[in-house]
A and B are shown apart, each in its own frame.
Chain A
Amino acid sequence: MSEEKYLLEMVNISKEFPGVKALDNVSLRLKKGTVHALMGENGAGKSTLMKCLFGIYKEDSGEIFVNGVKMHFDNPKQALENGISMVHQELNQVMQRDVMDNILLGRYPQKGIIVDQKEMYEYTKKVFDDLGIDVDPKAKLGKLPVSARQMVEIAKAVSYDAKILVLDEPTSSLTQQEVDHLFRIINLLRDRGCGIIYISHKIEEILRISDEVTVMRDGKWISTKPADELTNEKIISLMVGRELTQRFPAKTNVPKDVILEVKNLTGKYQPNIKDISFDLRKGEILGVSGLVGSKRTELLETIFGIASYSEGEIRLNGKAIRNKDSTDAIKNGFALLTEERRATGIFGGLNVRFNSIIANIDRYSKHGVLNNKKTKDDTNWVIDSMSVKTPSQNTLMRSLSGGNQQKVIIGRWLLTEPEVLLLDEPTRGIDVGAKYEIYQLIIDLANRDKGIIFVSSEMPELLGICDRIMVMSNGRIAGIEDTKDLDQEKIMTLAAKYL
Chain B
Amino acid sequence: MVKDKTKLYDKLLNYALPIILGIMILGVIIIEPSFVSIKNFTNILSQASTRAILAMGVAGLIVLQGTDLSAGRILGLSAIVSASLLQDINYAARMYPNLEQLPLIVPFLIAIGIGVFFTLINGFGVAKLKLHAFIITLGTQLIAYGAALIYIDRPPLGAQPIAGLDERYTNLVKGAFKIGNIEIPYLIIYAAIIAVIMYFVWNKTKLGKNMFAIGGNPEAAAVSGVNLTKNIMYVYLIAGILYGIAGFLEAARIGSATSITGQNYELDAIAACVVGGVSFSGGVGTIPGVLIGSIILQFINYGLNFIQVNPYLQIIVKGLIIIVAVSIDVRKYIEKK
Which residues in A have some Cβ–Cβ distance to B below 8 Å?
A: 75-77, 80-81, 88, 92-97, 101-102, 105-108, 110, 113-115, 117, 156, 268-270, 301, 306-308
Contacts and interface: CB of A to CB of B under 8 A. Distances in A.
B3 to A, nearest CB: 13
B337 A97 contact: no
Interface in B188-210: 200, 204-206, 208-210
Given A94-B221, A97-B213, A307 B337 contact: yes
Nearest to A107: B225
Interface string B301-323: 00000000000000000000000
Given A97-B283, A114-B205, A301 B220 contact: no
B284 A106 contact: no
Contacts of A113: 205-206
User: Closest 9 interchain pairs by CB?
Assistant: A77-B225, A94-B216, A106-B224, A92-B220, A106-B225, A307-B337, A105-B224, A269-B336, A96-B283
Contact of B223 (A92, A101, A107, A308): A92
A269 B223 CA distance: 32
Contacts of A110: 206
A285 B125 CA distance: 52
Given A105-B213, A108-B206, A306-B337, A94 B222 contact: no
B337 to A, nearest CB: 4
B283 A94 contact: yes
B212 interface: yes
A74 B223 CA distance: 12
Contact of B226 (A93, A105, A115, A117): A105
A113 B336 CA distance: 40
Contact of B337 (A75, A76, A92, A301): A301
Nearest to A268: B336
A81 B225 contact: yes
Determine the interface band of chain B, counting residues with CB < 8 A from chain A.
20 to 34
A76 B222 contact: yes
B40 interface: no
Contacts of B216: 94-97
Contacts of A106: 210, 213, 221, 224-226
B219 interface: yes
A96 B206 contact: no
A108 B204 CA distance: 10
B217 interface: yes
Interface of B: 200, 204-206, 208-210, 212-213, 216-217, 219-227, 283-284, 336-337
Contacts of A97: 209, 212-213, 216, 283
Given A96-B283, A306-B337, A307-B337, A108 B209 contact: yes
Consensus secondary structure, chain A interface: loop
A117 to B, nearest CB: 8
A117 B206 CA distance: 11
A82 to B, nearest CB: 12
Contact of A96 (B212, B223, B226): B212
A80 B209 CA distance: 20
A308 B206 contact: no
Nearest to A78: B225
Nearest to B227: A77
A76 B226 CA distance: 10
A427 B190 CA distance: 61
B222 to A, nearest CB: 7
A269 B6 CA distance: 13
Residue from the set A81, A93, A106, A306 with the largest chain B CB neighbour count within 10 Å? A106
A301 to B, nearest CB: 7
A105 B337 contact: no
Nearest to A301: B337
Nearest to A92: B220
A115 B217 contact: no
A400 B336 CA distance: 34
A388 B32 CA distance: 72
